[in-house]
Chain A
């Protein structure tokens, strides 16, 4: 507020309006916190115009701030707050460092007058007696270790509430400081200048922040200087690979010594390897990790540093000698490459990286690292303990051999072998491209060998081929686990995990199919490999289908079918029929109903012919039921492409019940499945399909009859049980989602929407959200989630039209808004993911218009307008690419009209007029293009607000006698 008051009068206000005092007080506080001792008179002198305020307020500030740092209140549970000055015989001199395991101080042992390092353990980790006992026992054991490269432990003690550990003081520094420095220097220095820049936004914050930075820097260098050390002095010990190898030998020797005495370190990392000024390396903190019972290390937040050195098996709760070797290997790796082996990201990602063993090889980072040394390190950090050095001394002697230029013992892992190991571990998709390359190389080599030295090497080539085949089989199995096929029931057991899919992996896998064909040629075992190729091809098709790439899926399925048919005269009827059904399903997705029906009929014929010979084959029976089901299913509104097909497929007169013939087949399918699931209760697929079929018998819009309600309940119960039994099978959960959200809000009367309906939609959202977060690449799940949100929003909106208290309406609108925002966000993702699919953009425009409607009702006209504008933009573009799209017309006219109304409502008559003109233009175009179709009028009663604000009809009755309602849903 611009007040003409003189500074004098401002000053008399208590508290003052001016921000000067804020700034000065902030500065004063900052100084105290930096450890300076600003005085009040000093500030009074500096800011005479604020003298009285300073005298008034600052004493309290001083009392509040001043007490903090000296306070030793009993309430401070953690060590971080206060350090003891004296612990029994030990006088604390200064803090040297701190980590997850406690704070290390330099201390004087007064009785012996010697300087020691004293590690104070955080109390929380040692509270229980058992742990305490273990801590003492471990410490005693550790104290028995006497080795040049192990920091001697003098003993343990406790004093008051503190437990500590006394060690020899090493004048030097931890390798962690060196590693950090190396990594930081190696990283781009640009980054640094960037992070400093943004500080200059406000005066105060810059002043304080730079001041703080300086102090921190200053304090650090001070500490280092007190001890007479700086990391630069130590850099010489890690300046060459040979020197790093020497450090490795020292550490490995120490480890071997401790391991021989049955003591594991359990936490080998740079921070626990101390380097003194002579270049002597000493390992510290033996067994502490165990003693402090930090086996759940992986949970802590500040252990990102520790996490990077934990061996994969430690996450399974196993620790062995090889785990220590691994930690040392990673440490050496980082010293050599000047990069973190495991990128410092989130805990979750890091653990995944470690357990999946995706550490890049050293020479890829720096080709100048000697090859042998790389081999040694890679052996030390092999993901599987079996592949690592079995003892630290083996590692030490290989390092010796490297230093003396003698051949090392560790063998480079052959490409095929690493491929094999990899495929054993996991299908981490990220490395799939690397794998493809490997496989290509490996096969290239092995095949070449096979041809060239035919006789002599024949055997070897064969075994190589076998290895490659196994790897390929495994790979495909991992990526596309067989679940939908009754022949492999076990696939749905506990071990089943849905693969993570991406288009890249599909492409790469597709590329690998040809290896089967190559193998078929090279080994002469045509049939076996061709069948494998056909099978692989089908799996590639499965991936494409799940990813929503239907035309690619179709191509793969057809190729697979071709391979199967070409190969065997008596092709397996079940496999062929299954393929026909998959092909039919894809055709349906692509909107080619006739081809779809044809494919299913082929499957039906084949299955029935085979079943004549043998009635008792469950697999065939099941596939037949599936054929019937697939023939019958109607595309739900939430499936791809429906927005476009709406006009071609007017809803059947009797709701959406299937035609008579289909109904019979559906009942047949149900009968088969009832029998099957009775005879074999272990197979979840029978129940799954049964639930889907039952559901198919229900009307799509809303379940009204008691009989139908019973059916619905049964289907849901089956599905819920399946999800409970097999929480990792995404298809089951997806079926639950669909079951819950099976309602056509548009065709339901507002009074039929009750808490029950809303509750079901919320259930659907819950399950669908889980699917989307588990499988972000699968569009089908996203679509389900989007539509569940959309339905919920419109259900809630419809409810508000009936009646209700104003706060109830408000809450419903709020929830609807949130849901639509989520739907819109997800739809945007889909739009970006599938730019070639216009229906995604159409849906996006629809959601924008829908959200605009809600916002408008809530009174946020501005955002409503901008949303409608954006929707109109999208739709106009669509109309340009496809001028004959009925749904685009429908949405566009709705949005245009809505915008016209809102403009009118906010009093912008000019814009409103323009919109009405556009609207009329659209209607004329539409009548020309679709002379027989009427633009569907909104079948909903207008909301009171909309109904009330339509003077427009009076003003322009001649041009819009029959204005449709607000933007439709």
Chain B
């Protein structure tokens, strides 16, 4: 949003000259954003086992060994590249901890683009229901959560993903389009379409949209 001012070429030169240093700076710069991404994407089953910070740390080490790849082929902006690395680390961590049960062919095939965890709907549902915390609401919440999750599953994957990118990862439209490898204009259209669909789901569930 507010950090893409540097000319890509200048940045690449800088990176080339001092990969370690620039990576550290950039990583620190984007740390909060990446943290948010990890925090959102982390499977709840990993609760207590791994921490977003651990993943960021691991991803950082990974990024530092792979920086040469980026220099060879800077196909995306640096942030998106970092996000991809973080995403791959997340997958690895999920695999390590949750074992192979999560793998299925479909997901493997999609792994390159929409890397992250399988429980996106679950996460979205949690966030949407977030402020219903009083005990009387708790039982209701559980019920609603199931309903909501099912509804969210009915969204198509791209719609769900673009909502996640825009709202939970807080990417700009441009960045989201980069991640999804589509034109910015298309990304924007999809985004608004997804909002419409989400709304049609949400109105059926009391208490979220008045």
Residues of chain A at the chain B interface (Cβ within 8 Å): 14-17, 19, 21-22, 26, 29-30, 33, 53, 56-57, 59-68, 70-78, 80-81, 122-124, 127, 161, 198-199, 201, 205-206, 208-209, 212, 299-302, 304, 345-349, 818, 821-822
Can you name 14 A-B residue pairings with CB atoms under 8 Å? A14-B196, A73-B44, A77-B46, A77-B50, A77-B51, A77-B52, A78-B39, A80-B39, A124-B51, A161-B48, A209-B3, A299-B61, A304-B24, A346-B21
Do B1 and A209 have beta carbons less than 8 Å apart? Answer: yes
Do B173 and A22 have beta carbons less than 8 Å apart? Answer: yes
Contact with A along B101-126 (1 / 0, CB 8 A): 00000000000000000000001101
Do A198 and B6 have beta carbons less than 8 Å apart? Answer: yes
A14, A70, A71, A201: residue with the most chain B Cβ atoms closer than 10 Å: A71
Least distance between B73 CB and chain A CB atoms (Å): 8
Closest to A32 in B: B167
Closest to A62 in B: B209
Do B28 and A304 have beta carbons less than 8 Å apart? Answer: yes
Closest to A124 in B: B51
Least distance between B126 CB and chain A CB atoms (Å): 4
Complex Cα distance, B128 from A68, in Å, reads: 7
| Cross-chain contact of A301 among B57, B73, B168 (Cβ < 8 A) | B57
Do A205 and B130 have beta carbons less than 8 Å apart? Answer: no
Chain B residues whose CB sits within 8 angstroms of the CB of A70 once the complex forms: 130-131
| Cross-chain contact of B192 among A15, A62, A68, A299 (Cβ < 8 A) | A15
Chain A residues whose CB sits within 8 angstroms of the CB of B66 once the complex forms: none
Closest to B54 in A: A124
Do B129 and A63 have beta carbons less than 8 Å apart? Answer: no
Complex Cα distance, B23 from A833, in Å, reads: 26
Do B1 and A205 have beta carbons less than 8 Å apart? Answer: yes
Quick check: is B139 within 8 A (CB to CB) of the other chain? no
Do B131 and A67 have beta carbons less than 8 Å apart? Answer: yes
Complex Cα distance, B47 from A67, in Å, reads: 20
Quick check: is B20 within 8 A (CB to CB) of the other chain? yes
Do A301 and B31 have beta carbons less than 8 Å apart? Answer: yes
- Residues of B within 8 A of A (CB-CB), count: 62
Closest to B193 in A: A15
Chain B residues whose CB sits within 8 angstroms of the CB of A75 once the complex forms: 42-44, 47, 123, 126
Quick check: is B147 within 8 A (CB to CB) of the other chain? no
Q: A67-B128, A80-B39 are known contacts. Are A57 and B192 too (CB-CB below 8 A)?
A: yes
Least distance between B3 CB and chain A CB atoms (Å): 8
Chain B residues whose CB sits within 8 angstroms of the CB of A199 once the complex forms: 2, 5
Quick check: is B70 within 8 A (CB to CB) of the other chain? no
| Cross-chain contact of B50 among A57, A124, A201 (Cβ < 8 A) | A124
Do B21 and A209 have beta carbons less than 8 Å apart? Answer: no
Closest to A201 in B: B5
Chain A residues whose CB sits within 8 angstroms of the CB of B24 once the complex forms: 301, 304, 345-347
Residues of chain B at the chain A interface (Cβ within 8 Å): 1-6, 20-21, 23-24, 27-28, 31, 35, 39, 42-44, 46-54, 56-57, 60-61, 72-73, 123-124, 126-131, 133, 163, 166-168, 170, 172-173, 185, 188-189, 191-193, 195-196, 198-199, 202, 208-209
Do A822 and B47 have beta carbons less than 8 Å apart? Answer: no
Q: A14-B196, A68-B168, A206-B2 are in contact. List 5 more A-B contacts (CB 8 A).
A: A64-B124, A64-B163, A208-B2, A212-B2, A349-B21
Do B4 and A346 have beta carbons less than 8 Å apart? Answer: no
Complex Cα distance, B191 from A57, in Å, reads: 10
Q: A60-B198, A301-B31, A301-B60 are known contacts. Are A198 and B48 too (CB-CB below 8 A)?
A: no
Q: A14-B192, A70-B130, A72-B130 are known contacts. Are A209 and B2 too (CB-CB below 8 A)?
A: yes
Do A123 and B170 have beta carbons less than 8 Å apart? Answer: no
Closest to A345 in B: B21
B3, B23, B51, B185: residue with the most chain A Cβ atoms closer than 10 Å: B51
Complex Cα distance, B193 from A14, in Å, reads: 8
Complex Cα distance, B172 from A209, in Å, reads: 13
Closest to B6 in A: A198
Q: A77-B47, A124-B51 are known contacts. Are A71 and B131 too (CB-CB below 8 A)?
A: yes
Do A301 and B21 have beta carbons less than 8 Å apart? Answer: no
Q: A57-B195, A346-B23 are known contacts. Are A63 and B52 too (CB-CB below 8 A)?
A: no
Do B39 and A76 have beta carbons less than 8 Å apart? Answer: yes
Closest to A350 in B: B24
Do B128 and A63 have beta carbons less than 8 Å apart? Answer: yes
Complex Cα distance, B129 from A33, in Å, reads: 18
Complex Cα distance, B104 from A854, in Å, reads: 39
Do B192 and A16 have beta carbons less than 8 Å apart? Answer: yes
Complex Cα distance, B42 from A123, in Å, reads: 15
Complex Cα distance, B5 from A199, in Å, reads: 6
| Cross-chain contact of A208 among B1, B46, B189 (Cβ < 8 A) | B1
Q: What 7 pairs across the A-B complex have the smallest Cβ distances? A: A71-B130, A209-B2, A198-B5, A124-B51, A15-B192, A346-B20, A75-B44
Do B2 and A33 have beta carbons less than 8 Å apart? Answer: no
Chain A residues whose CB sits within 8 angstroms of the CB of B20 once the complex forms: 345-349
Complex Cα distance, B49 from A62, in Å, reads: 32
Complex Cα distance, B185 from A821, in Å, reads: 33
Closest to B3 in A: A209
Do A80 and B35 have beta carbons less than 8 Å apart? Answer: yes
Do A127 and B48 have beta carbons less than 8 Å apart? Answer: yes
Chain B residues whose CB sits within 8 angstroms of the CB of A53 once the complex forms: 192
Chain A residues whose CB sits within 8 angstroms of the CB of B49 once the complex forms: 127
